[in-house]
Amino acid sequence: MSDIRIDDLPVRDELRGQTPYGAPQLDVPVRLNTNENPYPLPEELVDRITERVREAARHLNRYPDRDAVELRTRLAEYLTDTTGHRVGRENVWAANGSNEVIQQLLQTFGGPGRTAIGFEPSYSMHGLICRGTGTGWISGPRNEDFTIDLAAAERAIAEHRPDVVFITTPNNPTGTAVPPGTVRALYDAAQAAKDSMVVLDEAYIEFSHGESLLGLLAGRPRLVVSRTMSKAFGAAGLRLGYLAAHPAVVDAVQLVRLPYHLSAVTQATALAALEHTGTLLKYVEQLKAERDRLVAELRALGYEVTESDANFVQFGRFEDAHAMWRKILDRGVLVRDNGVPGRLRVTAGTPQENDAFLDAVRELKKEQTA
């Protein structure tokens, strides 16, 4: 039995020889590698979650609300309140993390014989979920400074005529914001090429200097804005992502979602969290200030730092980024090697965690120059 390996099984050809996605989950004192919010949930929210989950537990003999009506209503209110653009329940869909939202979008609009494009380096799960859904992946270009090269992106869309276009703003792992004009132009290019769907991944938007591009949904029925409670809300363990789009898009993803995909416990927990948005989002300003401090201090140390609108910072350059990653880890701080040549990414943590990281890189800088 034990000598049977994956490749001895009849797995799909495109999965052969691949490794599963995942950042290392190492037990080190300071973990700044997965862009989580470093602050645990406040006690009052923990109490409210317990109350809501206790109530939900009484009904676990039944399947949950398949359409997550109450949760979608509250998410729509949150979007309306925070962006000033009116969003209704009919515009919102929710799933287990925005990864599942993206998977449902690709199951609906991608799939065998279809393609999606993203502008790399970007969130590598876009390409991996394509692989999982049998969608062909096209790696589009970026400028040297990691902004999207609009002319080259428009050319790539016209040439490849992808069915789905991913735009991540702020982008992971670079932190780069995409200006509204670029999104408008890429949407127009996508419509001219093939009436394609355009997915705007706003996982980190609450940390941005600029505003959400949710307002672009009006008059753009093939635009989808994807969001998550994993980052600014500080609820990565909850697994709750959502999208806002034209109601027809919400209807379309119903064709692929599994029935009762969002458990009653998840819905109860997310509803409790949404009652406390003020408390949860209060950390956002602090994290933005810490992000700006990381940028300033890394620059002062002589590192090259990419402008960031997210809760993380990309820095370099290193001849061997992986060797540098290892040296920082040896000092008890886990950052991320995303495979971008010469660069690493650090998530903004608590002031103490960031100090530990800055001490580690300062020490390494001294060693280099000694």
Ligand X SMILES: Cc1ncc(COP(=O)(O)O)c(C=O)c1O
Helix, strand, coil shares of the chain as percentages rounded to 5? 45, 15, 40
Q: State the minimum distance, in angstroms, from the CB of residue 4 to ligand X.
A: 31
| Residue 316 sits in the site that holds ligand X (CB under 6 A) | no
Residue 2 or residue 25: which is nearer to ligand X going by CB? 25
Which window, 6-14, 92-100, 327-335, 347-355, contacts ligand X (CB under 6 A)? 92-100
Q: State the minimum distance, in angstroms, from the CB of residue 135 to ligand X.
A: 17
Residue 327 or residue 336: which is nearer to ligand X going by CB? 336
Residue 22 CB neighbours (<10 A): 7
Residue 123 or residue 315: which is nearer to ligand X going by CB? 123
Which pairs count as long-range contacts for 210-215, CB under 8 Å and 24+ apart, including other chains?
Answer: 210/177, 210/309, 211/83, 212/79, 212/82, 212/83, 212/85, 213/169, 213/180, 213/183, 214/79, 214/83, 214/85, 214/87, 214/244, 215/83, 215/84, 215/85
Report residue 18: phi and psi, to 5°. Answer: -90, 160
How many residues make contact with ligand X (CB under 6 A)?
13
> CB-based contacts of 252: which residues, under 8 Å, 6+ apart?
108, 109
Report the interhelical angle of 180-194 vs 150-160 (nearest 10°). Answer: 20
Which window, 60-68, 69-77, 95-103, 190-198, contacts ligand X (CB under 6 A)? 95-103
Which window, 46-54, 91-99, 253-261, 284-292, contacts ligand X (CB under 6 A)? 91-99
Q: Which has the closest alpha carbon to 109: 157, 182, 165?
A: 165
Single residue of 38, 97, 127, 140 touching ligand X by CB under 6 A: 97
Single residue of 33, 35, 104, 176 touching ligand X by CB under 6 A: 35
Q: State the minimum distance, in angstroms, from the CB of residue 91 to ligand X.
A: 18
Chain centre to alpha carbon of residue 55: 31
CA distance 353 to 228: 24
Token pair for 64: 């949950």
Residue 154 or residue 201: which is nearer to ligand X going by CB? 201
Single residue of 203, 243, 271, 273 touching ligand X by CB under 6 A: 203
Residue sitting closest to ligand X (CB)? 97
Single residue of 33, 37, 91, 98 touching ligand X by CB under 6 A: 98
Single residue of 212, 230, 308, 314 touching ligand X by CB under 6 A: 230
Q: Determine which helix (DSSP H) or strand (DSSP E) holds 151, and give its type and residue range.
A: helix 150-160
| Residue 201 sits in the site that holds ligand X (CB under 6 A) | yes
Q: Which has the closest alpha carbon to 289: 361, 203, 360, 354?
A: 354
| Residue 269 sits in the site that holds ligand X (CB under 6 A) | no
> CB-based contacts of 164: which residues, under 8 Å, 6+ apart?
105, 106, 109, 110, 114, 115, 116, 117, 135, 196, 197, 198, 199
Residue 135 or residue 230: which is nearer to ligand X going by CB? 230
Longest C-alpha distance within the chain, in Å?
A: 66
In contact, 55 and 358? CB cutoff 8 Å: no
Q: State the minimum distance, in angstroms, from the CB of residue 104 to ligand X.
A: 12
Q: State the minimum distance, in angstroms, from the CB of residue 66 to ligand X.
A: 21
Residue 110 or residue 241: which is nearer to ligand X going by CB? 241
Task: Print the binding letters for residues 143-162 with ligand X: x by CB under 6 A, - otherwise.
Answer: --------------------
Residue numbers 106-145 binding ligand X by CB under 6 A = 123
Binding site for ligand X (CB under 6 A): 35, 97-99, 123, 168, 172, 201, 203, 228, 230, 236, 241
